[in-house]
Amino acid sequence: MKKYFSLVKFAHTIFALPFALLGLFLGFQYMQVEGLSPDKPYWQSFLLVVMAMVFARSAAMAFNRYLDRDIDAENARTRMREIPAGVISPQRALLFVSINAALFVLTAWLINPLCFFLSPVALFVILGYSFTKRFTALCHLVLGLGLALAPVGAFLAVTATFQWAPVILGFAVLTWVSGFDIIYALQDEDFDKAHQLSSIPAMLGRHRALIVSTTLHFLSAGLIVSFGLLTNGGFIYWTGAVIFLALLGYQHYLVKPNDLSRVNLAFFTTNGIASVVFAAFAIGELLLR
């Protein structure tokens, strides 16, 4: 089990899960404000959304590792990952992908018909991302789109209806994730160029890639503000938003074109804290209304 947790970097669930939970609680509030009765108890929706998140992300990450196994074997930074290191065979990794994808679709069916019918679309996006680095530098945006589905899907799990607030939150996640994925990809700029792999750093170089990342994070900041205004955010929400935006700025302070020594601190620690803190404050306000 530890091997498979490592394969899918289970700890990185911290990026998308808090936003999924925020979308979920936003759905709970929407149902209460509209005076609608949920199809199932809220605790059941909570459990099903968490399960769907875990299954979807596990399938996506394992498929990425499976598809990139030969590339990872040639990259000094990644050659000790589970498949190239021989810890998990490619066949077992692909079986793991299939099981998690099937469990995701089953969970979506248990949630509601809309989520079930949209589940193949979600799988297409999150599994398709793994191919994109082979032909487009916009792969970072596709990764962001995959994580952006989390708050929208969680909202649909409760309400079975589309609203602007979770969509705006989804776009905030898209630009946030795309921005920090570009920072992470700086480590492989030379490798990507040598192996004809596409990325913003490989296409534009470190300096301009960081400008693109900064621009995306400015857009993310604007969307976080827009989400707060649309949902009538109060003091608790704006406190969490300020912390989130400060941490966005801090990761750009940590990483410079000529100094990538703190990329991992900027990528995992800073963004992990930002995600949890923002979602905790935003959900806290929803619960106290």
Give the C-alpha separation, 11 to 14, whole Å. Answer: 6
| Percentages of the chain per state (helix, strand, coil), in multiples of 5 | 80, 0, 20
Three-state SS at 112? coil
User: pLDDT (tens digit, 9 = 90+) per residue, 9-53?
Assistant: 766 677 889 999 999 999 999 999 999 988 889 999 999 999 999
Angle between helices 164-185 and 139-159 (to 10 degrees): 150
d(CA 6, CA 138): 27
Compute the average pLDDT of residues 216-223: 98
Where along the chain do its domains lie?
Answer: 2-288
Mean pLDDT of the chain: 94
CATH architecture, range 2-288? Orthogonal Bundle (1.10)
pTM: 0.95
Question: pLDDT tens digit string along 119-150?
Answer: 999 999 999 999 999 999 999 999 999 999 99
